[in-house]
Structure 1
């Protein structure tokens, strides 16, 4: 990169037929430009310019070098400009793995606007919680809920969201259930467990500076948040949920929030990529995910 930069400076001096005019065009000190050209001559072992107090001329060797350098610098500029244009108008297929609940509830509603802004990007979305090998499976990135497992040094996890979690139940369930005024009362309730742990779990809730951990159980356990919410809306127990789908159920009176003074710790959302050098379509999508989740960070 340093040699290419020096070649660009050499071409500028040759075209300007002088150091002072070239330095003005390049917006750099004349002394710095002269020093860089001297370093280039020393590196390649030949004199490129005849210098005098009246004028600067290319040597015979300098003329031959100029013809080669001019085309190289021109091609480099064209390559740079084409990459900039590609970054501004990204193309290609974006392959991303992400959980179905996150994709449907949080991202799908605003995906249309992203697609309209970048019409040359196509999408392949694998909606699954399974761990994928970004390289072997050919994914550009993976979006995951919860703290990601330790990743190889070749992978980078970037936090793109922090989602609140609350407790919900249907009015039908609450009418026939024991009182629910404190987290400790959950031991007397059917709790819909959001992870397949045999129908038992520990839930930790906080209110201001108080924290309570309670053992809960129930007949239903699932690794799908949407299923937890659906079972709760059918009157089958108390569930953890958040986001736009829960808000919709609240509006339709299918669910109501319980223990509103108590919350779970927010759950982080991460984008996992192979390296920091990623195509513009991937970078733009990760920025889109972060912007989409930002609107759900406030309590319902």
Structure 2
């Protein structure tokens, strides 16, 4: 109801400015008859005659003059608020509080966050990179970036990308232990598990193979697993984005390249769907960049 009044007030202001229905209708891109009907309905709703209509132009009544002055202020303020809101959305500001997965953030998200910070200089950042799962309901965080399956159905999860794990080992390990040529051979190799998972399920586009893997180390830190693999201690199953630095430096290389693990989602968790501009932009930026880079990595 309020929005309808605002629209009719804006139409009334345009009619007065144009000094007639014909000019206002042309400027607004609407039929003259429709505009005339809307103003008549406005007059009926407030119970006052606002305009004297003649064949050539319209003139304000005394009540219409007072109403016009008020309407113009309201419409101008509404337009200004709309413009300011557009500016806020284009250049959001404030503190963005986010929880990020430690190893993924340090290895892969850091340059993306730096790029985002250059795009939006009005935003400052407060990041939590501890292993704990922050409580988005009771703690003042805007968003949490997570990998793997969503652990809380009460929160809003927005998928940012799907990352596909590959098999990687160091040249030193492969020289010492030999390079596997098929998934079954992984059973005799040192393989790094996360949280004591005892099997890896691999795919080649046509087949799937579930392999029982084991090793001397069971770790819950992706960074530690990556580091141990680069020190010639075994084979890892991780997304390329996580081991990008080791691949570039030659400390790790891809093995069994036709085989890969089950794609893992990267998603943004929020408490609500109604997000401030800073959080919306951050999520949209990561979705675009992570999605693009994931496609390039799989090409």
The answer to whether TM tops 0.5 is yes
Q: Are the aligned partners of 1:105 and 1:243 in contact in 2 as well (CA < 8 Å)?
A: no
1:72 to 71, 74, 77: 74
Show the counterpart of 2:171: 171
Among 54, 61, 64, the alignment partner of 1:62 is 64
- 1:240 alignment partner in structure 2: 237
Displacement, 1:129? 4.6
Instruction: Spell out the pairing of 1:198-277 with structure 2 (5 A cutoff).
Output: 200-244=197-241, 246-277=243-274
Corresponding position of 1:131 = 133
- Alpha carbons of structure 1 residues 25 and 276: separation in structure 2 relative to 1, 3 Å: farther
* Counterpart residue number, 2:180: 180
Tell me the CA shift for residue 179 of structure 1.
Answer: 5.9
Partner of 1:287: 284
1:42 aligns with 2:44: yes
- Report the Cα distance in structure 1 between the residues aligned to 2:206 and 2:148, rounded to whole angstroms: 23
CA drift at 1:252: 3.2
What is the CA-CA distance between 1:110 and the residue it aligns to?
3.2
User: Cα gap change, 1:254/1:159 in structure 2, threshold over 3 Å: closer, same or farther?
Assistant: same
**SS of residue paired to 2:264:** strand
Q: Secondary structure at the match of 1:292?
A: helix
Confirm or deny: 8 A CA contact 1:144 1:270 kept in the other structure: yes
Q: Which has the larger displacement, 127-136 or 58-67?
A: 127-136
> Equivalent residue for 1:299?
298
Q: Measured at CA, do residues 35 and 224 of structure 1 come closer, stay the same or move farther in structure 2, by a change above 3 Å?
A: farther
CA distance in 2, matches of 1:252, 1:30: 71
Of 98, 118, 121, which residue of structure 2 is paired with 1:116? 118
Task: Report the aligned-residue RMSD.
Answer: 2.1
Residue 243 of structure 1 contacts residue 296 of structure 1 at CA under 8 Å; is this kept in 2? no
Aligned length: 295
**Deviation, structure 1 residue 244:** 4.7
User: Secondary structure at 2:111's aligned position in 1?
Assistant: helix
Preserved CA contact (<8 Å) 2:107 2:244: no
Structure 2 contact 107–245 (Cα < 8 Å) conserved: no
Asked if structure 2 preserves the Cα contact closer than 8 Å seen for 1:178 and 1:188, the reply is no
SS at match of 2:219: coil
SS at match of 1:124: strand
Partner of 1:189: 189
Greater Cα shift, 96-105 or 174-183: 174-183
SS at match of 2:149: coil
**Equivalent residue of 2:298, what SS?**
coil
The answer to whether the 8 A contact 1:106-1:292 is kept is: no
**Compared CA separation, residues 42 and 201, structure 1 to 2 (3 A):** farther
